[in-house]
Chain A
Amino acid sequence: MSNLIIFAVLMVLGYGFGQYNEQRHYKSIKKREALLSTLPAVATKYPPGDERHRQTMVMGSVVVASDYFKSFVASLVNVFGGRVRSFEPLLDRGRREAMLRLKQEASEQGASMVFNIKYETSRIGGKVPTIEVLAYGTALTPLHSPSTHGEQLSQQV
């Protein structure tokens, strides 16, 4: 009986805090995505065009942990198979946050775009499902260009 109560409390706490954090995070992600939308980040392997740029590697990395509720729902899916819907927002948030951090780094050095973007995801930690999402790419900064996005961002994050 006491085990059931502990379980119920963990589920309610996990759900409550998990949903609250997720919504707050998405709100912040959307705000910053709008701000950084002037900086294109593309997957193409080849730098565009004819202008001379400074090329630097930029990266953004984030570690996101699941909550008790999400992990429990995922463990149930493990029995029946199918989409692990409870983890999908977790990975989506991870990818978007990593991209934002990458763009932040690029914009702070005045880059005009980032190309050859790649993502890597790895699971870290033991019992609690925790993932690291890493986005990296090559930033192209026009020679002698001042930083534009960095100042805006530093007020938002």
Chain B
Amino acid sequence: MQYQDRIPPDGINTPGRHPLREFLRLSVMALLAIITLGFLLNSAGGTLGGLIPFKYELWLADRIDSASVDAGQESPFAQTITHPELQEYLQSVADRVASAMELEASMPITLHYSDDDLVNAYATIGGHVYFFRGLLSLLPHENALSMLMAHEFSHVSLRHTAKGIGGGLALAAGTSLLGMSQKNQLFGLATTLTSTRFSRNMETQADRSALAAVNRMYGHVAGASALFILFMQQRDEEEGQFDKFLSTHPLDEQRIQRIEDLALERQWLLEGETTPLPDKYSSWLR
């Protein structure tokens, strides 16, 4: 018997396909799958979250409040009066905004003022809405303040907090069931993109509802876009293009345009006299 050795032929036990092509194909598939899954989980969780009655949101806020007190820490929901005149004024505007929005009595809003440079305001569970000095000090007139308040109150009345928590919980539960973690980079990016889309929709809804409230209060919507012009200037100073792409809020230029479009559609007046802030407003903020 004659035995011979042979050189192993190429391309049988190896793929013969460029590794980068394989990587691209799989990445696109994974990204699509994750975005679809993220979208489904987020919308399902968000819908369920929105169905939870507001009284449970209040109950949860109470629980957090008492747990903080029990732990000897300051509660995030404790309403502390540090600037009485300012806070009194904010409350008076808030009352007018709430009545223009016809907020139900079962959905109480609690205002919080934070003596901080942050140019921001946000609404969280239980109707707690926070305003930072940084943002308040930049407001040019009361109309912009009313728009800001109406926007945040809309998040409460439209149940965006509960929807956000529901969507986030569904995403976290779904992904941990799949054994994926935020450590998986592609996954992180895809979920960020999905949640960003949802948040932007919520912001747009809040803008629309806020604009209607401002129109009811003043008979026109002049000055409402001042808020977003302000944000636009701030962001131009702070952020790069990539941050804008991932921002949870719609781009400010688009928001301003949408406000104008909505006003034209509903035949709301874009021009009108703006109500000045009280004379002592800026001194209250110091």
User: Can you add 18 more A-B contacts, CB < 8 Å, to A48-B3, A80-B26, A96-B8?
Assistant: A1-B242, A7-B185, A19-B19, A36-B5, A37-B6, A38-B5, A40-B5, A76-B27, A79-B30, A79-B33, A85-B15, A85-B17, A85-B19, A85-B22, A88-B13, A91-B13, A92-B13, A95-B13
Where chain A touches its partner, the secondary structure class is helix
Q: Is A136 an interface residue, CB under 8 A from the partner? A: no
Q: Say whether B13 contacts A73, CB under 8 Å.
A: no
- A113 and B33 alpha carbons, distance in the complex (Å): 53
A-B contact pairs, 9 of them (CB 8 A): A3-B185, A33-B8, A37-B6, A40-B4, A49-B1, A76-B29, A83-B15, A89-B15, A96-B8
- List which B1-60 residues lie within 8 A (CB) of chain A: 1, 3-8, 13-15, 17, 19-20, 22-23, 26-27, 29-30, 33
Q: Could you say which residues of chain B place their CB within 8 Å of the CB of A79?
A: 30, 33
Q: Say whether A88 contacts B14, CB under 8 Å.
A: yes
- A40 and B17 alpha carbons, distance in the complex (Å): 31
- A87 and B93 alpha carbons, distance in the complex (Å): 65
- Given that A79-B33, A86-B22 are contacting pairs, would A40 and B3 also be in contact in the complex, using a CB cutoff of 8 Å? yes
- A19 and B23 alpha carbons, distance in the complex (Å): 14
From B5, B22, B27, A39 is in contact (CB under 8 Å) with B5
- List which B166-218 residues lie within 8 A (CB) of chain A: 185, 188-189
Q: Which residue of A lies closest to B1 (CB)?
A: A48
